[in-house]
Amino acid sequence: MTIRKYLVLSVVIVCAACGDVSLARGIRAFGAVTLANLPTLYIALFNPWIGLGILLLIGFFVSYLSALSWADLTYVLPATSLSYILMVLLAKFFLHEHVSFGRWVGVALIVTGVGFAASGPEATPGTHRHNRIETVYGPVGALGEAADSGVEP
């Protein structure tokens, strides 16, 4: 794993958690949305918090897809589940929500799961296209990724 790849996973984690919390922060200003006041959702789009939340979730989706291009799904999902923990921390300290003991146990379980996933390789050899591109074109080595696949550029 290169620093660049850790950075992509970090962006997935931060954007997912901050995006959800930002949406939650924004939608609270409008109260409960029901079929009777559905147009409220359109007005909500112009709320700065909701706009920020949408931008962050776009950032999440782009970085998530990027991660899937070089890592296994069964690596990316547990590795990026740290976003749930960040979300709990933001909910407690930013939204001032109550976090029960059971939820802290959940946080501990997720940290354990991330530890299991992160201690292994991120990709099954030969299943990702960029490994083949590295073999053919070589310049990928300049990004420090050839070393990951064990291919000499």
Partner 1 sequence: MNHLAVWGGIAAVVIASTVGDVLQSRAMKEIGNPGLVRQSHGIVGVIRRVVTNARFMIGLAFMAVGFFCLLVTLSWGEVSIVGPASASLTFLANALVAHIYLKENVDRRRWMAALCVAGGVALLAR
The contact set with partner 1 (CB under 8 A) reads 62, 65-66, 68-70, 72-78, 81, 84, 88, 102-103, 105-114, 116-117, 119-120, 124, 127-130, 133, 137, 139-140, 143, 145
Instruction: Determine which helix (DSSP H) or strand (DSSP E) holds 85, and give its type and residue range.
Output: helix 82-93
Least Å from the CB of residue 40 to partner 1:
16
Which residue, 112, 113, 82, 84, is CA-closest to 99?
A: 84
Cα–Cα dist 11/62, whole Å: 10
Least Å from the CB of residue 31 to partner 1:
18
Least Å from the CB of residue 153 to partner 1:
12
- In the complex with partner 1, the residue whose CB is nearer, 29 or 109, is 109
Cα–Cα dist 63/83, whole Å: 13
